[in-house]
Amino acid sequence: MQTLEKEKPVQSKRNRLVIVCSKGSLDMAYPPLMLATTAAAMGMEVHLYFTFWGMNMITKKTIDSLKISPVGNPAPPMPNILGMIPGMSSMVTSMMTKKMQKMKMPSIREMIATAKESGVKFHACSPSLNMMGLTKDDLVPEVDDIIGATTYHDLASEDAITLFV
Amino acid sequence: MQTLEKEKPVQSKRNRLVIVCSKGSLDMAYPPLMLATTAAAMGMEVHLYFTFWGMNMITKKTIDSLKISPVGNPAPPMPNILGMIPGMSSMVTSMMTKKMQKMKMPSIREMIATAKESGVKFHACSPSLNMMGLTKDDLVPEVDDIIGATTYHDLASEDAITLFV
Amino acid sequence: MQTLEKEKPVQSKRNRLVIVCSKGSLDMAYPPLMLATTAAAMGMEVHLYFTFWGMNMITKKTIDSLKISPVGNPAPPMPNILGMIPGMSSMVTSMMTKKMQKMKMPSIREMIATAKESGVKFHACSPSLNMMGLTKDDLVPEVDDIIGATTYHDLASEDAITLFV
């Protein structure tokens, strides 16, 4: 007698990660890069789509000077007023940067290089580029291409983990 | 001899986009509307769920006066201290608005009208409405309905691209 | 005659919700907890992954003192300058808290307890814990475990609704 085994439906794991990077602050630059690099190391296909303030993460002029806003993040144990003292944002940023160096955390420039080596794809948003008056030459060499929202949706719709940072 | 071709599993592309809009600043109002309108133009089914500060995007009183926070966005080339000067946020907003007008970028009110015409659905969050002391009459006419998180999850769970802005 | 009915593809609804909680402000602490509790009540499997400022939502010392940033949220009808007056953030927070109490909205501590009872899983991000110099003892007892981004991706890739707050 033959047993017709009902094939167990293969739980297809999603193997793609597509993150919109829309923030230009140092604290919101780390999470997408950390998630991207880890996913790439796991063998996933990873796409980062940089738009609005996120363009600062991939622009030569700004990549090394991203700052933490002590005012916009009421969570740190610091009264809002401190955010208003000139240079305070730089001071908090420098404090956090030193802490990160102690922990041997790479800089954003280094994280982008590592992500690229791991196979992460870097896409710059075309309208954002125009709005900011930038050209491809103003972007770091890791950027693969300049795409619009249509291409983003194509990437995101193929069963990907999607996040908006 | 018969060849039993193993049916190639159809890679079902996700055809739905569901975005939570939780921010009330001008710079975070554009991305969800741009993604929504593009997706609708591609034939996707698009739902926007407005909650918390995102209610300002669809409230008659606030839709035309969304502002960019120069303090909360440390990315623009501007020291935080400038955000503290009275009227500075308005000034930065007016600068960005002028730039957008030059690029012929539509206003939020215009983008909402366009999105609506493209078939994008507008859902207001019921608890947020109550918390802000608003009624449906306070909202722009493009709003389709007032829903809770249960309906949001129903929409999001049907294989949609999901984003939280 | 035999009719070979083409089996209708079962539209498998996603039954899992995985949210990255990266913000430490009161206004951005509510949305993930409200979405999580509602989803759990609907029978969904829910995971919250706390990282960066989101650690403040599950740290004993900070859970009861999350604040709204009046500066970072240009949406509320309040000029940015008010955010710079010492204690103003506390005042706005206290105003919103009173309004929430009138609406009988639970505190973050209460919402976390309720979510936990509903079956929501709480995951703290390992590198964030190190960066903030915290240990598991500094976290509220509702936290299930300390995980890295690899485990997050495993959770998120199994056909979940994914959000980054």
Least confident of A26-30, B55-59, B101-105: B101-105
At a CB cut-off of 8 Å and minimum separation 6, what does C126 contact? C146, C147, C148
Q: List CB contacts (< 8 A) between A72 and chain C.
A: 69, 71-72
- Give the DSSP per-residue string, C90-111: HHHHHHHHHHHHHTTPPPHHHH
Q: What pLDDT, on a 0 to 100 scale, did the predictor assign at position B90?
A: 58
Q: pTM of the prediction?
A: 0.84
CA–CA min distance B117, chain C (Å): 26
Q: What pLDDT, on a 0 to 100 scale, did the predictor assign at position B86?
A: 44
- Give the number of beta-carbon pairs within 8 Å between A and C: 106
pLDDT band at A60 (very low <50, low <70, confident <90, very high): very high
Q: List CB contacts (< 8 A) between C76 and chain B.
A: 24, 53
What the block records as the tokens of B30 is 């554009």
What are chain B's partners, defined as 3 or more CB pairs within 8 angstroms? A, C
Q: What is the DSSP letter of B68?
A: -
Chain A residues contacting C via beta carbons under 8 Å = 11-15, 17, 19, 27-28, 30-31, 34-35, 38-39, 42, 44, 69, 71-77, 79-81, 83-84, 99-100, 103, 105, 161-165
Least confident of A43-47, A110-114, A119-123, C52-56: C52-56
Q: List CB contacts (< 8 A) between C9 and chain B.
A: 12
Q: What pLDDT, on a 0 to 100 scale, did the predictor assign at position A92?
A: 59
> If DSSP codes are grouped into helix, strand and coil, which group holds residue C139?
strand
Q: CA A85 to CA B81: how far, in whole Å? A: 6
Residue A48 has pLDDT above 90, yes or no: yes
Tell me the average pLDDT of chain B.
Answer: 82
Q: What pLDDT, on a 0 to 100 scale, did the predictor assign at position B73?
A: 46
What the block records as the tokens of C22 is 């990266």
Task: Please judge whether C157 and A31 are an interchain contact, meaning their C-beta atoms are less than 8 angstroms apart.
Answer: no
Q: What pLDDT, on a 0 to 100 scale, did the predictor assign at position C43?
A: 96
Q: CA B88 to CA C107: how far, in whole Å? A: 34
Task: Please judge whether B131 and C35 are an interchain contact, meaning their C-beta atoms are less than 8 angstroms apart.
Answer: no
Q: CA C69 to CA B80: how far, in whole Å? A: 15
Q: List CB contacts (< 8 A) between C87 and chain A.
A: 79
pLDDT band at A89 (very low <50, low <70, confident <90, very high): low
> If DSSP codes are grouped into helix, strand and coil, which group holds residue C87?
coil
pLDDT winner (highest mean) among A42-46, A64-68, B22-26: A42-46
Q: What pLDDT, on a 0 to 100 scale, did the predictor assign at position A90?
A: 58
A161-164/B145-147 β-pairing: unpaired
What are chain C's partners, defined as 3 or more CB pairs within 8 angstroms? A, B
Q: List CB contacts (< 8 A) between B70 and chain C.
A: 80
Tell which residue, B130, B139, B142, B129, has the closest CA to residue B33.
B142
Task: Please judge whether A149 and B17 are an interchain contact, meaning their C-beta atoms are less than 8 angstroms apart.
Answer: no
Note whether A30 and A54 are within 8 A (CB).
Answer: no
Q: CA B101 to CA B107: how far, in whole Å? A: 8
Note whether B21 and A164 are within 8 A (CB).
Answer: no
Least confident of A50-64, B52-66, B75-89, B127-141: B75-89
Interface test with B, best of A12, A157, A162, A165 (most B CBs within 10 A): A157
Higher pLDDT, B126 or B103: B126
- pLDDT-flagged residues of chain C (< 50): 1, 3, 5-10, 71-88
pLDDT tens-place string over residues C94-133 = 666 676 677 777 899 999 999 999 999 999 999 999 888 8
Residue A131 has pLDDT above 90, yes or no: no
Each domain of chain B, given as residue ranges in start order, spans 16-67+89-164
Q: What pLDDT, on a 0 to 100 scale, did the predictor assign at position C159?
A: 84
Torsion sign (Cα): A73, C136, C162, C40? negative
Q: What pLDDT, on a 0 to 100 scale, did the predictor assign at position B70?
A: 52
Residue B89 has pLDDT above 70, yes or no: no
> Which residue in C72, C148, C156 is closest to A71 by CB distance?
C72
Q: What pLDDT, on a 0 to 100 scale, did the predictor assign at position C50?
A: 97
Higher pLDDT, B113 or C88: B113
pLDDT tens-place string over residues B19-53 = 999 998 888 999 999 999 999 999 999 999 999 98
Neighbours of C145 (CB within 10 A): 11
Q: What pLDDT, on a 0 to 100 scale, did the predictor assign at position C85?
A: 44
> Which residue in A13, A71, A105 is closest to C83 by CB distance?
A71
Tell me the average pLDDT of chain A.
Answer: 82
Residue B8 has pLDDT above 90, yes or no: no
Higher pLDDT, A122 or A93: A122
> If DSSP codes are grouped into helix, strand and coil, which group holds residue B18?
strand
pLDDT band at A33 (very low <50, low <70, confident <90, very high): very high
A54, closest residue in chain B (CA to CA): B75
CATH code: domain B16-67+89-164 is 3.40.1260.10
Maximum Cα–Cα distance for chain B, whole Å? 83
